[in-house]
Amino acid sequence: MQLGKIVYNPVKWTAVLAALLSGLLLSGCDRQSQAPPSRPVPEVSTVAVQTQKIMLATELPGRTSAYRIAEIRPQVSGLILKRMFTEGSNVKAGQVLYQIDQSSFKAALDNARAALDRSKASLFSLNMRVERYKSLLADKAVSQQDYDDAAAALQQAKSDIQYWKATVETVRINLRYTQVASPISGCIGRSNATEGAIVTAYQPVPLATIQQLDPIYVDVPQSTTELLRLKRYMEDGRLKNHGTDQNKVKLILEDDTAYPLEGILQFSDVTVDPTTGSVILRVVFPNPKGILLPGMFVRAVIKEGVNEQAILVPQQGVSRDHRGNPVALIVDAEGKVEQRMLTLDRAIKDKWLVSAGLGAGDRVIVEGLQMLRPGTVVKVVPCEGGM
């Protein structure tokens, strides 16, 4: 068997090599002509800062206390014959609460009246004696000593009359005090004495306690730091007084429900509690239905004043740097990201009240904050939700 012989043809091999080289060159040029893809411009949503007029208020904890408290104590000593009220009921001013035995006081009154009548009876005869001695003294019919003794006896009788008049009045007052009456209207608590108990005048333990609950006080402590801040804001013009509405206070109860009636800020104490560094604000609330009871924990919403140039920013537009300072990213006039250091006053619902760092017209970025750096060119798109 004879194998075929391969014949070398220079022309043919030259053509094949030329075709291969041209294919390689063309593929290389195609790869060089493909440029790397460019990064897209980040899209962000912004909120334009605008100044607005808002009423600033602060929420402070407080406790209720009775408008008036009367501790009932006897003013005379004696035996209690009867208790004349129902524990826990409402009593009126002047209503008799306890009856103390009157027998000894009535006897003392009769004795004082009798002594007064006796002094009055002797006054007439003594007066006539002095007049008679006075006329006889001119004729030397009586001595000067007799006249002086008669005049002294007359003066003593007049003094005795005044003394017994005062005694009668004192006993009459004590007799009236045997009926222990309520000095105020309000709700009376439990009784500390029953029928048959011996009581003494002005004893340390009260017979009962009456509390007036309509209206009722709410005592709210406010720190002196906050008080000084408000005064400084008022002086600087950042806060303005809102007239009579400034003193109106709202109340939130222990179960987080709003009390339906508004109170009036009555006064601010002038003494600072050294243990807490605060002063007491006293608010008066109407309490016709008795919802508020003494000692309840409540939260008072107190109006501070009106800020006519307030700047509010959504909370998602404010972040913190590595030191914990609040910052915000804004879009400047050239469409670049700029970082601003902020000074925050307080949170109002879902927004921050900014006191420094932003001005009217600034565009604060609220969406698309991830991986943004100052100086980055961004594209502003409409904010979702219409913030």
Domain map (residue ranges) of the chain? 45-54+309-381, 56-66+213-306, 74-101+178-205, 103-176
Could you report the per-residue pLDDT of 211-243, keeping only the tens digit for each? 999 999 999 998 888 888 878 877 777 677 766
| DSSP-assigned letter for residue 160 | H
Kindly give, in sequence order, each residue whose CB lies less than 8 Å from that of residue 359, ignoring residues fewer than 6 positions away.
Answer: 49, 311
Classified by CATH at the fold level, domain 56-66+213-306 comes out as Elongation Factor Tu (Ef-tu); domain 3 (2.40.30)
Global pTM reads 0.69
Could you report the per-residue pLDDT of 262-316, keeping only the tens digit for each? 998 888 888 888 888 888 889 999 999 989 999 999 999 988 888 888 899 999 9
| DSSP-assigned letter for residue 131 | H
Residue 2's pLDDT is 45
Does 379 have pLDDT greater than 80?
Answer: yes
Q: What is the CATH number of domain 74-101+178-205?
A: 2.40.50.100
Pick 79 or 6 by higher pLDDT: 79
Sheet with 78-83: strands ordered across: 179-181, 96-100, 78-83, 198-199
Could you report the per-residue pLDDT of 125-173, keeping only the tens digit for each? 788 877 777 777 777 777 777 777 778 888 888 888 899 999 999 999 9
DSSP H or E stretch at residue 106: helix 103-138
Lowest-confidence segment of 88-102, 167-181, 361-375 by average pLDDT: 361-375
CATH for 103-176 (3.30.1120, 1.10.287, 1.10.3810, 1.10.3470): 1.10.287
Residue 16's pLDDT is 53
Residue 166's pLDDT is 93
Could you report the per-residue pLDDT of 13-26, keeping only the tens digit for each? 555 555 555 555 55
Q: Is the dihedral angle over the CA atoms 236, 238, 242, 245 positive or is it negative?
A: negative
Average pLDDT in the 86-109 region? 94
Which class would CATH give 45-54+309-381?
mainly beta
Strands (E), the chain: 43-48, 51-72, 78-83, 90-91, 96-100, 179-181, 186-188, 198-199, 208-223, 248-252, 263-268, 278-285, 297-314, 319-320, 326-331, 337-341, 343-348, 351-356, 363-367, 379-381
Does 4 have pLDDT greater than 50?
Answer: no
Rounded CA-CA distance 283/250 in Å is: 10
